[in-house]
Chain A
Amino acid sequence: MLNISPIFNAMMRNKSSIILIVLQIALTLAIVSNAAFIIKGRIDDMQRGSGLAETQLIGFHMYFYDDAVNIADQLLLDQQKVLELPGVIDATAINQIPLSGSGDSWTFRNQLDSDGAQNINAGVFLGNYNIANVFGHKIIEGRNFRPDELVIRERDGNTPKVTIITQALSDKLFPEGNALGKFIYSADVPVQVIGIIDKMQGSWLHSPMVEQTALMPVLNVRKFMRFIIHVEAEQVDSVIANVQQFLLAQENRRVISSAETLLEKKKRSYQSDKLMTNMLIVIIAVLIFITALGIAGMTVFNVNRRQKQIGTRRALGASRLDILRYFMTESAVIALIGITIGVVLALVLNNYLMTYFSTSSLAFNYIVTTLVGIIVVVEFAVFWPARKASMISPAIATRSV
């Protein structure tokens, strides 16, 4: 019905250009499926929710250079004063800024005795007792910190007593559940879990522990401090513009960096992923375009070369549709051979990437989707030249070139 055998015979007479198209299709399939897979992984990462109101939270750091300043008092005062700025909802001094790429992590155990304990790393955010409110967290289990639970920690080794942790950290430390009320241990220091929040990403977005986060009501007094302010959406720009001068006016024996939203920090943290996806998207787009044009170009040449034969077939009674079908089938056969080799190549490439760059194993649906896409692109590319071929008049056959 489809007349594969004459098509095959014709192809065998013109092996080299067929091989080139097959090779091109195979490589395209291998590259596109792997690149698409990498892109999807990165985009999924970048689209994970942070559990934070990124556009309304602004962060900056400050550095107290004069030993004469009482840093703890000044920070407590700043947290009050900054509420005077229009649009400021809540604020706290803090030890690290989420999504920023730098910060502190602690190792927690789920029991005092280190033998047989689960050792779990978590990003630890030390701030005022209102720290959960500043981030806008809803406590899904337990309660929030009380003002009297704030610990001022200078170089005296004061330790926190209570913590609010994310569900992700709770699941890690207490896989059997019921974390609320239990104690977790940093070395031999017990800290009681009094609340659980749904989700909060820590500072290192590329770390597997990114969602393992703990909040503690501790003012960890250092020369180098960070500060987080929660602002009403429409006042974000004005607070960013004014907060530095405002705080310097309270106390100028410090250096304050310019403020920016957590969204900006997040963008910077994902910069390398953005670069990777952009480059790969460009490669995929150009690759498909070039492959399509190349195949169309080859078909044009073939049609021109076979003008006489096409004319003869038409004169012998082949319909336009027959001619069109001939070229469409031919390209489908070529595409199928290319795809068969391409699937193998795609898996080889993926295997290479897995071995040397520890990427994950390619999901098969990426190959299938790419494969279908390639057939569509190839048939689309062949359609116009094939249609042109079907227009060739039977009279050509009788004419000498």
Chain B
Amino acid sequence: MFSYYLQLAIKSLKSTPTTTLLMVLAIACGIGISMTALTLNHMTGNNPIPEKSSQLFSVQLQASGKTSEWRTIDNMPVQLTYQDAVNLMRGMPEYKHTAMYKTGFSVRSLDPKFTPFLRSTRLTTRHFFSMFNIRFLHGAPWSETVDKNPTLQVVINNDLNEKLFGGGDNTGKEMLLNDKVFQIVGIIEAWQPKPKFYDVNNGAFQAAEQVFIPFILSGVHEFESWGNNNGWKEEHSNTYQDKLASETLWIQYWAELLTEQAKDEFQQYLAGYVAEQKKLARFERDDARGILRDVQQWLDYNNVVGNDSYVLVAVSFMFLTVCLVNSIGLLLAKFLRSAPSVGVRRALGASKGQVFAQHLVEVGVLGLIGGLLGLVFAYLGLTLLKNNFDGFDFVATMDMTMFFAAPVIAVSATVLAGIYPAWRVCTTLPSIYLKTQ
């Protein structure tokens, strides 16, 4: 029966080529534009580490001045001071948690003829790698001793490994960061979480660092922050050591808390720290507190996707609605025009259900063609975006979810839209049309 309906549908669509073309184009445009907007939204809203999203927490402290204002919804700063970060790292050794910040170096191999280039670099502790599930191709993170005793050791990613040495296991070799010789202890995969969730404050879609060195080196070698530094207090901060002791906020902090209990304990730990700092009169706000946010909450909190993206999705789906309303109108007109022949079929014994099913199949075929064409439009749209805008390589790419979602949305939306015209035509009394014949 289905294949017969399919034949009928194709015959019917062919009999009114202009209307069919109009409907297919309307559906295709609607699907094309809404899928383009939805893909941008979906990919910017991507969870980069779904397997651990609810176990990794960004740590925030309300450590700013009484009247300080921040752009966040709860008026909390998103970064920590150096002293708070260092203090927090001292406790809770049973859980992995680490401070981090971005700096940068001119990078060279020891070959004097090598032309140096700039690479941003992250100072952090060895926990960073296991917390964020980063795979080592060679070697391992630096040891716990190195986190406590400043040692010039470095972990690099494989892209940099290839650029410096042409690839291979180069652990144990040395390289230059500025004028300091670092020993390579590990080489990680070309890791690039998108969005760069662990430091969205400094550009959510920036490239991940390719160089990682121990956090403790910052106090000794005075590596400048290459990220945002937010000050709220009037204090003279000329030297680097001044900055370390200041209330300037510039450190990111993450904790891995695998269980609910661990999260509670860490929350307690933060509360205890805040109480202690309040007693020392360092934290001056009444609402001084520590807050944990998991990866998804953190991305939402920082509005990584952006308002524009949601506005575009809303507008493009309204646009899709217009396209569908348009198609319903045309379908209705088309179906009603074929009512006389439907009347004959009904008189010859076709049931309402059969007429209904037959017309729905026709609508489905229309939706499928429109949806597939819409997918092509969306692909063209995304390619245009990628070619005309920097940094859209990742965002303007359909992943599998989107690729399958698009035709499903197209067909179901069209079929939904086709129910009314199909119902109208199948409930028409056959006698009326038989009379006028």
Contact = CB atoms under 8 A, between A and B. Distances in A.
Q: Assign chain B's interface to a size class.
A: 35 or more
Contacts of B332: 16-17, 20
B179 A276 contact: no
B104 interface: yes
B321 A27 contact: yes
Interface in A106-131: 114
A255 B118 contact: yes
B65 to A, nearest CB: 12
A328 to B, nearest CB: 19
Contacts of B325: 20, 23-24, 27
A67 B179 contact: yes
Contacts of A47: none
A290 interface: yes
Contact of B326 (A24, A224, A359): A24
A179 B409 CA distance: 61
A297 B117 CA distance: 62
Contacts of B37: 279
B72 interface: no
Interface stretch (A136-144, A194-202, A281-289): A281-289
Interface in A290-331: 290-291, 293-294, 297-298, 301-302, 304-305
A290 B424 contact: no
B391 to A, nearest CB: 8
Interface stretch (A28-36, A88-96, A170-178, A391-399): A28-36
Contacts of B33: 279, 282-283, 286
A24 B105 CA distance: 58
A277 to B, nearest CB: 10
Main secondary structure of the interface of A (DSSP, over half): helix
Interface in A153-174: 155-157
B422 interface: no
Contacts of A35: 315
A255 B106 contact: yes
Nearest to B118: A255
Contact of A187 (B29, B234, B238, B329): B234
Interface string B226-257: 10000000111011100000000000000000
B181 to A, nearest CB: 13
Nearest to A267: B390
A27 B318 contact: yes
B179 A17 contact: no
B44 to A, nearest CB: 11
Contacts of B234: 114, 187-188
Contacts of A275: 308, 385, 389
A291 B238 contact: no
Contacts of A24: 322, 325-326, 329
B41 to A, nearest CB: 12
B307 interface: yes
B267 to A, nearest CB: 30
A34 B315 contact: yes
A255 B390 contact: no
Interface string B109-123: 000000011100000
B26 interface: yes
B345 interface: no
Interface stretch (A4-12, A76-84, A230-238, A350-358): A350-358
A241 to B, nearest CB: 18
Contacts of B239: 155
Nearest to B32: A286
A223 B224 contact: yes
B389 A271 contact: yes
Interface in B138-179: 178-179
A291 B324 CA distance: 11
A222 B301 CA distance: 34
Contacts of A387: none
B19 A297 contact: yes
A30 B318 CA distance: 9
Nearest to A38: B311
A188 B235 CA distance: 9
Interface string A65-89: 1111000000000000000000000
A366 interface: no
B200 to A, nearest CB: 15
A399 to B, nearest CB: 14
Given A21-B329, A63-B118, A255-B117, A358 B307 contact: yes
15 contacts: A20-B328, A65-B105, A65-B179, A67-B179, A155-B239, A155-B240, A222-B224, A276-B308, A286-B33, A290-B29, A294-B22, A294-B329, A297-B18, A301-B330, A305-B337
Given A17-B332, A275-B385, 15 more contacts: A24-B329, A28-B322, A31-B318, A65-B116, A66-B179, A155-B239, A155-B240, A157-B236, A224-B224, A276-B311, A286-B29, A286-B33, A293-B26, A298-B330, A305-B337
Interface of A: 16-17, 20-21, 23-24, 27-28, 30-31, 34-35, 38, 63, 65-68, 114, 155-157, 187-188, 222-224, 254-255, 257, 268, 271-272, 274-276, 279-280, 282-283, 286-287, 290-291, 293-294, 297-298, 301-302, 304-305, 349, 352-353, 356-359
